[in-house]
Amino acid sequence: MTATDQQRADLLALRGALGSFATGVTIVTTRVEDADVGLTANSFSSVSLDPPMLLWSLAKTSSSHEAFMAAGHFAVHVLSVDQEHLSRRFASKDVDRFAGLPLERGPGDVPLLTGCAARFSCRSAFHYEGGDHTIFVGEIVGFDHTPTPPLVFHAGKYALAAPRAEPLGAADPARVPPTGFAEDLLGYLMGRAHHQLYDRMRSELAELGLGEREHFTLSVLGISDRRTLDEINAFTAYTGVTLTREAAADLESRGLVRCEPAEGGPRLSLTDAGQQALLRLVAAAKAIEVDALADLSEEEGRLLRHLLKRVIRTTDPGIPDLWASRQERS
Amino acid sequence: MTATDQQRADLLALRGALGSFATGVTIVTTRVEDADVGLTANSFSSVSLDPPMLLWSLAKTSSSHEAFMAAGHFAVHVLSVDQEHLSRRFASKDVDRFAGLPLERGPGDVPLLTGCAARFSCRSAFHYEGGDHTIFVGEIVGFDHTPTPPLVFHAGKYALAAPRAEPLGAADPARVPPTGFAEDLLGYLMGRAHHQLYDRMRSELAELGLGEREHFTLSVLGISDRRTLDEINAFTAYTGVTLTREAAADLESRGLVRCEPAEGGPRLSLTDAGQQALLRLVAAAKAIEVDALADLSEEEGRLLRHLLKRVIRTTDPGIPDLWASRQERS
């Protein structure tokens, strides 16, 4: 390693260490000589309550450094979890960062962005020396704030602040039986959550005179039709439910699917009545989902889906991709 | 509202707005006149890379203010997600904050805590005026860092930085069929995750010559025994699986449960062989869980359980608390 390589490695290590401190993400804006200036910064810190003050810092080499040194006012916007695109835009070179954005105006005619978790209008109070950066301290002269979840930056990646996973009525050792089958067992939680959701679907199915097997069959054909019995079962075998020849004949006699003779065995498709039944079941599933997620924020709901998808990917025994097969055939 | 009430309300609103910026949590330590000093702070910010500098701020009224003003060195520890107890301890009054903690020593004999996400040893560089706080700028003279997930503080609560929920192979509109049954449907994800996990359990059950119904029955009796058929079914009805009189008799004839005559119908309990079978199934469930969570961090696994529990609570149709019944009866 040359001295320069070593320095570069040290710098990378330092960046990594500093990046282990999670932060929110802000956009700082000002207006100087009739021009709006703004940039993404995560070096924000609150300083004082009386008088109310905050700080952020900016590289002396930044093209906006001069503007902020000259500015009498600036504004700090704490970004919400839905504003990652703004964070990226205000960190990009060679784009008109304010183009098309709805703007309000704060003290000093400073541009104020909308939809943020919080906004602070500041009077420039101090500029402090900070190595290759200048530390800007502002006195807060106005602010507003919404309870939107914030965007988080950690270890070079965007993230979100999730609640800590407190045990919910578990963890009491008196409640753990000798087999160790505690309420925290993932298989139990997954099974219980699934069956509680599916219990409502079963009522819906019962009204249509259908069972789980028929539900899975209609669902597969609704995504990708003209399927043989074996193909349908390849998609659903992992559920332990199998579509038999008799059950298929029953679905046909009830007018929900039609069978076309083909090489390799008859191929099943949905009839219009089958399509209608499936539409009703999907609508029911969506209503069940809305109710099931009523206690979670939108972001928590997204997070639950994300974690389930990762478990599905990890435990996938090699089930064919049903949706991809749709694309191939369409 | 009196003027004082108004001021107090304004201050609360300001605190709320400032709290919308998520931060990591640090403990800052120093050593002055042979005494270790340390406190929790989330006003940390990195400042400069060349020379490497960071800052944090401290209320002038803090009992530690004088010590840090006098200190030639200090250290900043970025706490990991498992160090919430340290954050609380170093924010508490009237406790010996360092008692019993393994300590290392940095430049200036400053105490260094262990198990942190990152640590920075600093030489005091500048003290800056910041309203009711002093801003301490340190030149970083040493640091280390581990890839441990960090503790996060947001809106007055501890949190964790969770990955953003990126779509995993979904979201392609070409993949959404006319019924709207997309891969993001919670019921689908929950069912698929459950069935993929349970598919492996089914193999285990098959080796014991058991099915889902027998599995649920052994599980219920393993937590709370001497149960009638109706009581067992009250715990498991939401799964759509019912224990019939015939199935119970079969379990008895195979030596897995025993029936005692009682008022209100015979009561079932596990035999030793039944207990052994259940132990084997719980061990299998734990192995399946380890594999299913292999791709998630420990904290993500905890988060998944937490979110599942909240969905379970929201969708609970009124299932009796099986574990509580254990406590009542024991």
pLDDT in tens, B86-111: 999 999 998 999 999 999 999 999 99
Q: Which of A50, A160, A292 sits opposite B186 (nearest CB)?
A: A292
Confirm if A299 and A196 have CB atoms less than 8 A apart. no
Instruction: Verify whether the Cβ–Cβ distance B22 to A161 is below 8 Å.
Output: yes
* Crossing angle (nearest 10°) for helices B322-329 and B212-223: 40
Contact status of A291 with chain B (Cβ, < 8 Å): yes
- pLDDT above 50 (res B167): no
Instruction: Verify whether the Cβ–Cβ distance A137 to B130 is below 8 Å.
Output: yes
What are A152's strand-pairing partners?
Answer: A24, A159
Q: What percentage of chain A exceeds 70 in pLDDT?
A: 94
Q: What is the distance between the alpha carbons of residues B275 and A260, in angstroms, rounded to a whole number?
A: 51
Instruction: Verify whether the Cβ–Cβ distance A131 to B47 is below 8 Å.
Output: yes
Q: Please report residues of B whose CB lies closer than 8 A to that of A40.
A: none
By C-alpha distance, which of A218, A250, A246 is closest to A232? A218
Q: What is the distance between the alpha carbons of residues A111 and B301, in angstroms, rounded to a whole number?
A: 42
Find residues 215-244 of chain B whose CB sits inside 8 Å of chain A.
Answer: 219, 222-224, 238-240
In the DSSP assignment, the letter for residue A148 is P
- pLDDT above 90 (res B306): no
Q: What is the distance between the alpha carbons of residues A149 and A297, in angstroms, rounded to a whole number?
A: 9
Instruction: Verify whether the Cβ–Cβ distance A55 to B279 is below 8 Å.
Output: no
Contact status of B274 with chain A (Cβ, < 8 Å): no
The pLDDT confidence band at residue B60, using thresholds 50, 70 and 90, is: very high
In the DSSP assignment, the letter for residue B114 is S
The predicted-structure confidence for B191-228, as pLDDT tens digits, reads as follows 999 999 999 999 999 999 999 999 999 999 998 889 99
Contacts of B21 (CB under 8 A, 6+ apart): A23, A24, A26, A44, A46, A78, A117, A118, A150
Confirm if B98 and B38 have CB atoms less than 8 A apart. yes
Q: What is the distance between the alpha carbons of residues B22 and B161, in angstroms, rounded to a whole number?
A: 10
Contact status of A193 with chain B (Cβ, < 8 Å): yes
Q: Which of B23, B57, B170 sits opposite A23 (nearest CB)?
A: B23
CA angle A237, A242, A244 (to 5 degrees): 145
Q: Rounded to two decimals, what is the model's pTM?
A: 0.71
Pick from A231-235, A313-317, B47-51, B319-323: least confident: B319-323
By C-alpha distance, which of B121, B282, B117, B151 is closest to B208? B282
Instruction: Verify whether the Cβ–Cβ distance A22 to B57 is below 8 Å.
Output: no
By C-alpha distance, which of B160, B304, B85 is closest to A184? B304
In the DSSP assignment, the letter for residue B62 is S
Q: What is the distance between the alpha carbons of residues A97 and A89, in angstroms, rounded to a whole number?
A: 6
The mean predicted confidence, pLDDT, of chain B is 90
Paired tokens of B244: 């019939």
* Crossing angle (nearest 10°) for helices A272-292 and B298-315: 110
Contact status of B127 with chain A (Cβ, < 8 Å): no
Q: How far is CA A254 from the centre of its chain?
A: 42
- The enclosing H or E element of B79 equals none
Contact status of A91 with chain B (Cβ, < 8 Å): no
Judging by beta carbons within 10 Å of its beta carbon (0-12, 13-18, 19+), is residue B245 exposed, middle or buried?
exposed
Contact status of B14 with chain A (Cβ, < 8 Å): yes
The predicted-structure confidence for A211-225, as pLDDT tens digits, reads as follows 999 999 999 999 888
Burial call A176-202: b when 16+ CB within 10 Å, e when fewer: bbebebbbbbbbbbbbbbbbbbbbbbb
pLDDT value of residue B9: 84
Instruction: Verify whether the Cβ–Cβ distance B189 to A309 is below 8 Å.
Output: yes
The pLDDT confidence band at residue B165, using thresholds 50, 70 and 90, is: low
**Mean pLDDT along residues A178-193:** 86
Instruction: Verify whether the Cβ–Cβ distance A240 to B199 is below 8 Å.
Output: yes
